[in-house]
Structure 1
Amino acid sequence: MIKHFVLIITLSIFLSSCAKPSEHQEKGRHNSNTKSISKLQNSDKENQAPKVVIEGSDLIVFYNNKKTVYKNLVVNEMSVSTELIQTNNTGFSLLYEQNASLTKIKEKYNFIYSDTGILLIDKEIIKFGQDGLMINRLYIDNFNMLNKTYENLQSLGAELPDNFEQASSSMSIYDSKNIPFATQNFQYSTEDLFISYPDVKDGDINISNVESANNQAFNLEKIGANQQSKILLEQIIRQFPDRIVAYLNLADVLWKIQDQNQAKINYTKYLSLMKSQNKNLSKVPQRVYDRIK
């Protein structure tokens, strides 16, 4: 009887020790769970979409887990109003509308996000009044937005001419050196274009200075404005199909935006034109050969 009792007690102790994890096991399990949670949190941070909000007169930008405040960029008063236009995860726009005079004015500033802060890509200004309608686009390079106000933005392109039109609706396009290189035509009346702007359908871009256009597209790609660069380069190739370097630049942009198939097509076209026009093949970048394999 005593033997049976001892056997039962021993068995109970053994089963109890098996069911209870050791302190080492508990720590290991806790550390494993902590690591899993940490990985999820880091993943959430990495995948966090950029965000921009308005607080009073300030623009607040959240990008790469960093908050940056741009002061005095928002103006809402009797004569001027500001609208934030969220475009996509790569950028946004600010639209200012002025109604104080007989000539109505809208100014649109297009930005992209970057590791160094928001970058101003271009400025569009459209005016409508008794003289008709004018609209300009000016590309901007190396404009640091820190400590900039609405007044600083307004001064950009102030020296460009106001070419008012009564009948047609076309935009004059300038590079960052204030050199005109293209026009863009719209299928709207002058009044309808102003009222609808910026929600208007893009018209064809007619390039008059291909070198300036190509240089501007290249500059856009360098700062990460790949979609804007792509649009210009596609127009260059459509109008100047023998412009060899445009195929290389477009291929690089397409590669950056993960469109490898189209990138390979343009790398191949670039290499083909280099050969057919008897260009120096030693100038072909090695990445061209690497990426068309």
Structure 2
Amino acid sequence: MMIRFLVFSFFFIYNLISSQIIAGEYSPIESKCKLNLKISSNNHYIFSINKKKKMEGIVKISKEDEGLYLNFDHIGVSFDNDTIYMQNSGNAMNPYIHFKECDDMYIHLAKKINLENMYSAISNKKKSTHFTDSQIENLLISEPITKNNVDMYNNLAYHLSCTKNGNQQAINILTQVTNKFPERVVAYLNLADNYWNLGEKEKAVKNYNMYISLMKSQKKDLSRIPQSVWERIK
């Protein structure tokens, strides 16, 4: 009896946690398809195209070695790192199509995420966290950089630069930061470091020089300039 209770408790907690992980709104990555998906915390889902409901129901969740497997009625998909991987159509040997409005054979749906949640996730997990370019682009559109959130964006860019292949994403954010706040000293240092890590030394040196110039014009303590900056601009 106790073993049965423990097994039941395990699966209950597992499904509860999984439901919280997958809950959210999803949109396509690098696709012209206007397919969107919303999953509630009770596992109720709605697929829609151009805001028109296409199908809804209760998603079933199961565990795979490399992540979660989700079953939307007759559509099975993989879930990993806040992204849903779906094969939308088959081939000559196995012809089928789930959403005829979409020409793509494969559709990737990324969870929409706000700035605070993204920063929290990456600052806690750091190198193990990954966000797609589309997620970063959508974030910058949905939550433009302002004086109220520029610190968090700057910190987000720093943490992105510590992840695998995160330098270009950090550059995309920091470029917008410097465009909107051209007097923000530390942004130029971070921008230069990311260019340097990508091997774009000319752009790196340009931003290092801008960083030094602003440090001087704003009468900041020049001793705080990292030694690596002086070495890289020689």
Q: How does the TM-score come out when normalised to structure 2? A: 0.49
The structure number with the bigger radius of gyration is 1
Structure with the bigger percentage of helix: 2
Q: How does the TM-score come out when normalised to structure 1? A: 0.40
Of the two structures, which has the highest relative contact order with CA contacts closer than 8 Å and spacing of 6 or more? 2
